[in-house]
Structure 1
Amino acid sequence: MLFVGHTRFSLFEPNSRAWVSSQLDDSHNEDTYRDELFNEERLVPRVYMFFENSLAQIDRAIRGHEVYHIVSYSPELPDHYKARIEAACREYPWLVPDLQSERVPTITANTLVQNVLAERSGEAGKLIYGSYRLDDDDLLPTNYFDRMAVYTVPENVGMYVSLGLGATAIQHGEEFSVPRSIKQRFFTAGLLSVCRMSEGGRVERPAPYSGHSNADGAAPCIIDSRETGFFWNRHEHQDTSVGLRKKGSIVASKILRENLDRMPIVELNQEFFDLFPTLKDRVLSDGYDNHTSVREDSDTNSFSANFSYPANSFRAIIEMTAQQDVAKNNALFSLDIINETGSTTLTDDQIHILAVNGVHRSADRNIGFFAYLPTVYGTQTTERLISLPHGFKCSSVKLMPWGDTSKVHLVSLKIDII
């Protein structure tokens, strides 16, 4: 069976009415929109989900089906993320890049299907296919195409198919907590249109909807909620969480967890991990709470924080005062880093990967791996995102002055796992 999917990877569309991610403030300014869209804190969870999980899930789900998945992205996307997309397209032959210069798609689902139709003789008017969408931070199960193939038949052309039962959890770097079961009809992840293309390129498809939750108001729908059909990843930097972020990161995380606590707990059994194998050993039990215990050492004007579970990414919120002649990087974070095997002994290649990502190793054993904290004159509260490459985690962190330690006074430190 033929399926064509589409993911918009942080697509920059300043003329679109869907400026959801730009609504963190009320300026409706294009520069604000761009900065928020490509903010590292917003992109880091998506990069991990899409490149390390979503693509691998789709690859396992193909199982004999003919699948093409378009990933649309913008020239404005930072170069290192564009390189990740290009590398992924080389790794997965079914992944089709769509770099939208001038906001115009370079390839569409219709074009792909026309190409397939041209290669097949005697199928004019009989090419039935499924068209689906997938956000860059959600997952489809390994049996997705098998389940949808049952409904992708001539009798259902012009209908939507929704897998209405899903799982959801809160992302913390490369791990997930508060796993819950959720019924969400017409959820965006995997919502399928049953289509037919004739030899002349005419396409029969369901009537378009205004908002995916209104799909049944546009066309007949099939709903199958017999088993888990999607994984809805939750984190405060989702576009749908903009309202929460206005309340501040700590409050947003608390509200997000309270919302999930009202839902039934999902069973983390073998059946679940057969559907979502990339999440194996990454979904934490319901009692999980990755908190930090921050200690102040007034004698050295430093702060230390131990994580209850090693974290791939965290945000540090620092209050400090600096003198007028302070240096550019007059403070730093000392990081205790482990690799994917849990070892603190890293190879030269691993050390190089960290350095490329802004985390260096000091010759001073008391510092070890470190990342600078920019310092400027005055009293301020600032934030610093520490995001380690895939396969690395931090178990503890120490914030300390660096260089002329008399130039900086550290007042407080808070850690927020993301």
Structure 2
Amino acid sequence: KHLISLFLILILIATSCQSGASNDPDTNQSQTTQSVETVIHSELDPDIQEQIFLTQDQPMPSDEDLPRIEYGENLEAYEVTWYEYFDTVSTVMAFVNDQAEFESLVNYLEQRLAKWHQILNNFEAYENITNIYNLNETNGEWVKLDSELIELLIFSKDMYEKTNGQVNIAIGAVTDLWHLEREKALENSYFQGELPDQDKLEELGKHAEIENLEIDKEQQRARITNPNTKIDLGAVAKGYVSQVLKEELIKKGYSHVLMNFGGNIVTIGEKPDGEAWRLGIRQINIDSTENEIQFAEILEINNLSLITSGDYERYYNVGENSYHHILDPETLFPSTLYTQVSIVSENAAWGDTLSTALFNVSIEEGEEILKNFPNTSAYWITKDNQNIKSSNFDSLLN
């Protein structure tokens, strides 16, 4: 059973990894937005956290497993942090009536995260479960998949169309090649490595065709028709899962919750006193001391998500140049237009997708792509330290 202890904290910061030191493989996370709050919160004892393993023989927890909340007058804020899901840090802060109510929420969310973590893993297979890794290894055969994973694959193909191909989950063989070189580099203290072989990159890029992924929704199955095509859901998965969880909590009456899954910050409702959540877009590429935190913008939002991608996340060095994890699908190399892109949206799945898509295109093309996504805006920080808002950025927040 989880033990929960209360303590007072003056500032809750969901912070990103810093350039350089942040590239340690144990601490390198995609957390780039900041939550600035004064709250009382709790934390699960990290010494007794247990990994929950779910298989297809064990039913996925449904929203029936989470009691509906009825808010009283005196609410307290509790917080839990997990480190084992999606290769990142996940934090949930909720205002609820008491500790028992929060424990119920934590148990539900942990089971949901554990299941999603396994079915989305494209590097590892699990006993009695069929996940993305298995789909990538099937050599053209149809694979029965969890219904939620089928929906995510359908969503991802739709995002390919709506982002003009800038988010392509069929680029997995290319991302695997970059991942391999990055992991080699992280084995040394200077994060120095080598570039992937150019000929191999170009050859794998020829097979990164979204049409090679076929989905049979009626039969709940999918297949990859080209053995050289691999699926990688990294550009969409965390945002999609956080949006699913948000909708499930809303159905159960929750309206005072902030969730942060590796920099994908999602708010449900407002704080109990009626105040908005205050979230910051951190200014990374400015001259500042190591301990000084500065923000490009402080936002007050309710029921919106704030998701940021940056070139200082998951990178390694080749000589004097750094190579991050956000790949341009045309060049097959990391994009060089921006330092970071933040998306504010009513839908976290859109936000996660767009923080990658808009990293690879001009401001003008980014504005055009945004037209496909209602109640969604963007904030770019360029390589030369210019901060640029999409035309609808301020209006969305007012």
- For normalisation by structure 2, the TM-score amounts to 0.24
Q: Which has the larger radius of gyration?
A: 1
The structure with the largest strand share of the pair is 1
- For normalisation by structure 1, the TM-score amounts to 0.24
